[in-house]
Amino acid sequence: MSIILLDIGNVIAAVDFFRFCKAVLSESSSDVHAVYRKYCGGELKMKFDQGIIPPLDYLCMIGRDSLTGNMSHGEIRERWQDVFSPMKEAEAGVETLSKKHKLWIMSDTDPLHFAFLLTKYPLLKERERYYLSYEHGFLKSSPEAFQHVLNDSAMAAHEFILIDDNLENCQAAQSVGIKSIRFVTWPETLAALEAL
């Protein structure tokens, strides 16, 4: 029995940040990509995911930006959280994994997204451990994130398998000796796991 370090975004829940960008875009602007670059794919988002920027500060930044419309913090939060949709076969896939492995959740995420995901995706609840970037400060693209898991759990690298859709994250895990499977679909992932 291995311990699966299971990603959330585009593994359990599909993520569409452009839904957020379109929802907050100012009427005087048409540059959805500028909103995306600034808040969904750049340095600010990395700092938010690492817990460096508190949630209220992030919402305030978005609210004050000329790229975005005039909205309350609550409205911005709702739009920020409304970027997820269920991944096909995720529930069945997680159930299959749970029969043979321990499942620990490991995600680059922020407190607003994770609170929403816990509410909307029951299969995330009551897992033995959660390694969340906003709590420990490391992104999965860095080997330090996986070294943190090893140090915190006092377990050996060969006891873990990462399932993640991001190649860079898989490579970071492998650099400290943790096997990884790059997620594409649930059937492919389960077949790859059987082959390990």
Residue-range domain boundaries for the chain: 3-13+87-195, 17-82
Measured distance CA(16)–CA(56) in Å, rounded: 22
The answer to whether 3-13+87-195 and 17-82 have equal CATH topology is no
pLDDT at position 32: 94
Report pTM.
0.95
Counting beta carbons within 10 angstroms of the beta carbon of residue 8, is it exposed (0 to 12), middle (13 to 18) or buried (19 or more)? buried
Residue 175: count of CB within 10 angstroms of its CB:
12
* Secondary structure (3-state) at 154: coil
pLDDT at position 29: 78
pLDDT at position 1: 77
In which band, very low, low, confident or very high, does the pLDDT at 196 lie, cut at 50, 70 and 90? Answer: confident
The class level of CATH for 17-82 reads mainly alpha
Measured distance CA(67)–CA(8) in Å, rounded: 29
Q: What percent of the chain has pLDDT over 90?
A: 94
Comparing 28 with 10, the larger pLDDT belongs to 10
Measured distance CA(5)–CA(175) in Å, rounded: 15
Q: What is the C-alpha end-to-end distance of the chain, expressed in Å?
A: 12
- Read off the pLDDT of residues 43-100 as tens digits, 9 standing for 90 and up: 999 999 999 999 999 999 999 999 998 899 999 999 999 999 999 899 999 999 999 9
Among residues 48, 46, 65, the alpha carbon closest in space to that of 56 is found at 48
Query: Which CATH code fits 3-13+87-195?
Result: 3.40.50.1000
pLDDT at position 92: 96
Asked whether the beta carbons of 22 and 122 are under 8 A apart, the reply is: no
Asked whether the beta carbons of 18 and 36 are under 8 A apart, the reply is: yes
Residue tagged 């959805």 (tokens): 32
Determine phi and psi for 88, rounding to 5 degrees: -60, 130
pLDDT at position 113: 98
Determine phi and psi for 127, rounding to 5 degrees: -85, 155
pLDDT at position 144: 98
